[in-house]
């Protein structure tokens, strides 16, 4: 089979519409791959006993896309057999249980895509300029990822 017709691709998108797991996983499917691994980050309805009404995301869009491209490049260096990578992040209001982020990776065998997906979400949380605001009944709070490499919050 001519594998050059299935050149590895990175699919990166930041959008305010609802994310579709079907759409994102279909992007990475390949006849040369026996594995598609998936991570979906969804909105929880509570934080420290407070009821979360919804989340709101904003991004430094151009830099976020650049940082996500760096993550894809790193993935391909660490796991060269990875075929396609899709990282979709939602911006704006995300209601409870809906997805804020979907990451899908395909590889010939399951080990690489499983590890690559974990690397993608962990690194995204540490380095991509996207911010989340949790909206409660009577107040809101800008969240801070513990992975953020420069923040040392004493929470």
Partner 1 sequence: QVSVLYFARSAELAGLRSETLSVPRQITSLQLWEEIVKAHPRLAVIRDQVVFAVRQEYVLLGDQLLVLQPGDEVAIIPPISGG
List the one residue out of 89, 77, 88, 146 whose CA is nearest residue 116.
Answer: 77
145, two tokens: 């990822």
Choose between 6 and 10: whose C-beta lies nearer to partner 1.
10
- Nearest distance from residue 102's CB to partner 1, in Å? 11
Choose between 7 and 97: whose C-beta lies nearer to partner 1.
97
Choose between 81 and 127: whose C-beta lies nearer to partner 1.
127
Residues that bind partner 1 (CB under 8 A): 41, 57-60, 62-64, 66, 89, 100-101, 121, 124-133, 142-145, 148, 150-151, 153
List the one residue out of 59, 55, 124, 114 whose CA is nearest residue 87.
Answer: 124
Residue 13 DSSP symbol: E
- Nearest distance from residue 30's CB to partner 1, in Å? 25
- Nearest distance from residue 92's CB to partner 1, in Å? 14
Q: If phi over 0 gives left and psi between -120 and 50 gives alpha, with beta otherwise, what is residue 48?
A: left
Q: Tell me if residue 90 falls in helix, strand or coil.
A: strand
Choose between 33 and 72: whose C-beta lies nearer to partner 1.
72
Give the distance, in angstroms, between the CA of residue 87 and the centroid of all CA atoms in the same chain. 5
């Amino acid at each position: 089979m001519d594998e050059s017709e299935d050149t590895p691709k990175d699919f990166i998108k930041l959008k305010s519409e609802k994310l579709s797991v079907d759409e994102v996983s279909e992007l990475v499917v390949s006849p040369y791959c026996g594995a598609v691994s998936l991570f979906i980050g969804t909105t929880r309805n509570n934080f420290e006993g407070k009821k979360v009404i919804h989340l709101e995301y904003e991004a430094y869009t151009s830099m976020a896309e650049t940082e996500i491209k760096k993550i894809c490049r790193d993935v391909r260096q660490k796991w060269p057999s990875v075929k396609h990578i899709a990282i979709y992040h939602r911006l704006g209001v995300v209601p409870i249980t809906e997805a804020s982020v979907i990451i899908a990776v395909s590889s010939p065998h399951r080990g690489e895509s499983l590890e690559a997906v974990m690397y993608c979400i962990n690194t995204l949380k540490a380095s991509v300029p996207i911010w989340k605001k949790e909206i409660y009944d009577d107040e809101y709070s800008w969240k801070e990822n513990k992975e953020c490499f420069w923040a040392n919050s004493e929470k």
